[in-house]
Structure 1
């Protein structure tokens, strides 16, 4: 029995050490794994000291904690059909979100994800975003930073195709809000600045079929996206300098919702239970700090 316990604890130790020692896929350099934003999802329950999955709904995004769980070494985030009302408005789907309790700005962010079965209508995503009153004094005009490491299965309309994007169109976009010369807050998004904010990769595979690696390196000067260790896009880092939360979500997309009045609203005539429930699956999330080039301490700011 003692020998069995010894072997058991040795396996745990080796697994833990190997997870800490592993390096980002596809990029060189010397990296340090940041535990506050990394998770192998091997436990029986969400690590609530590290992650928040009980966020209040945002508009049509009806987050509920029962749509996020861990099983067999994976994180599962579900979307399900369920008619419900909030503040006198009718909604039709409930989904899940996992958001880090701490925030960070620069580093290498990697997750191994399998998309959901339902297409079109849902978007599994891995992203970083700022919220609250956090500001960077070196960039006083920036009020919001969002880096979409991956948004898959969006099925958005593409001018170049004169139609909807296919399932293998992988989006890697940027969003920000800045103050103009008059102090008025303005959005800068892929629609306004496609040269800076709109990026995509046409995959030779279907993201619903298997796990793939989605990653981005964020430095003070540049944002670079990687898929399966291959660089697929890059952009100058003009506005993305605020502390951001590491986030995984399932969200509704057209035809189940539409953009209206600066937000998203359900489209009741397109509501359907077909294809629900469905879920995205995440093998792990790992975040590293580069320690061999620039001084980029990981922020530990909390909510």
Structure 2
């Protein structure tokens, strides 16, 4: 009898534990990762002349120093970058203000709320930073060494161009590890908003997004984001490790390079007045062209 009671109690304890675990799992929706990324074989930097992922230069890359930037001065190079956007004020409620962008100690830094006492436009409560290359690039290899923000704003390094008939985008880094639960999320996306007849005749926006799991907190250290883009394929790299490859079906438009920090409710990134000291830092932005790929540069 005693043994029976003990078994009964043990069953109830285990059963209630399983029920509790089940409800706990149901209460928090699972994230759908395409894959987890292993960095055991990550390459070591032997030379700054070549992309981190191709240190033997099998791709015949030549750095375009004119359009790369090591941020060695004490201000943003106006010949390479503009710190405003004529057509986009920023994703509400965060407004792009050039005063949030600084260059010092060999780094480009994006901050929050450096607009002093100036009143922001209607619909905006906070300000962040944005820079865009004057030059447009069609194909090449693009790399930046980045320390993501430890604050609820998205850290962005991407390429885009929009006209009346043609608009495409390649997101190289679009991550928000400063938001609890996103520390290990590596996001990747490409967009086509519209295109002319000879480029697919796209009338309705579509995108191809993927999410990957990385075994470390993305905001804890500097990481190298890279993108190889040619007429056939787009490849994404983190710290020299290939984590995604996509067929290039529509991305044949010359694009600007953009870096910014922004709000985005889809990433859980809405302003937090208790976390205004977070900074997004960039050691360099480098651009390569290859002898193996015909590319265009529009100044």
Q: TM-score, normalised by structure 2?
A: 0.73
> Which position in structure 2 is the counterpart of 1:175?
191
What secondary structure is seen at the aligned counterpart in 2 of 1:285? Answer: strand
1:91 to 1:241, Cα distance in 2 relative to 1, 3 A: same
- Corresponding residue for 1:15? none
SS of the equivalent of 2:99 reads: helix
Give 1:80 deviation, angstroms.
2.9
Q: Match for residue 130 of structure 1?
A: 161
Q: Is the 8 A contact 2:177 2:218 kept in 1?
A: no
- Measured on the aligned residues, the alpha-carbon RMSD in Å equals 2.9
Matched, 1:151 2:182: no
Corresponding position: 1:53 with 2:83: yes
How do 1:77-88 and structure 2 match up within 5 A?
77-80=110-113, 84-86=119-121
> Which consecutive unaligned segments of at least 5 residues does structure 2 have?
1-46
Q: Which residue of 1 aligns with 2:234?
A: 223
Cα–Cα, structure 1 residues 172 and 47, in superposed 2: closer, same or farther, change >3 Å?
A: same
Residue number among 60, 66, 90 corresponding to 2:99 in the alignment: 66
1:26 is matched with which residue? Answer: 53
Per the TM alignment, residue 255 of structure 1 is displaced from its structure 2 partner at its CA by 7.6
1:239 aligns with 2:250: yes
| Structure 2 CA distance for aligned equivalents of residues 271 and 75 of structure 1 | 22
- Kept in 2, the 8 Å contact 1:84–1:90? The answer is no
- Equivalent of 2:130, from 97, 108, 111? 97
Deviation, structure 1 residue 184? 7.5
Q: CA deviation at 1:300?
A: 1.9
User: 1:55: Cα distance to partner?
Assistant: 2.5
Larger gyration radius, structure 1 or structure 2: 2
Does 2:108 match 1:108? no
Task: Work out which of the residue numbers 228, 240, 263 in structure 2 matches 1:252.
Answer: 263
Distance 1:223 1:184, change over 3 A: closer
Q: Deviations over 1:241-285 (max 9, x none)?
A: 111001111011228989xxxxxxxxxxx7531111321000000
Q: CA deviation at 1:42?
A: 0.6
TM-fit CA distance, 1:166: 2.3
Normalising by structure 1, report the TM-score: 0.72
Q: Per residue, is there more strand in 1 or in 2?
A: 1
- When the two structures are aligned, how many residues end up with a matched partner? 243
In structure 1, the residue matched to 2:280 is: 280
Distance 1:37 1:165, change over 3 A: farther
SS in 2 for 1:26: helix
For 1:10-54, what per-residue CA distance to the aligned partner results, in whole angstroms no more than 9, with x for missing partners?
xxxxxxxxxx96101112321111234310001111100110113
Residues 26-35 or 108-117, more deviating: 26-35
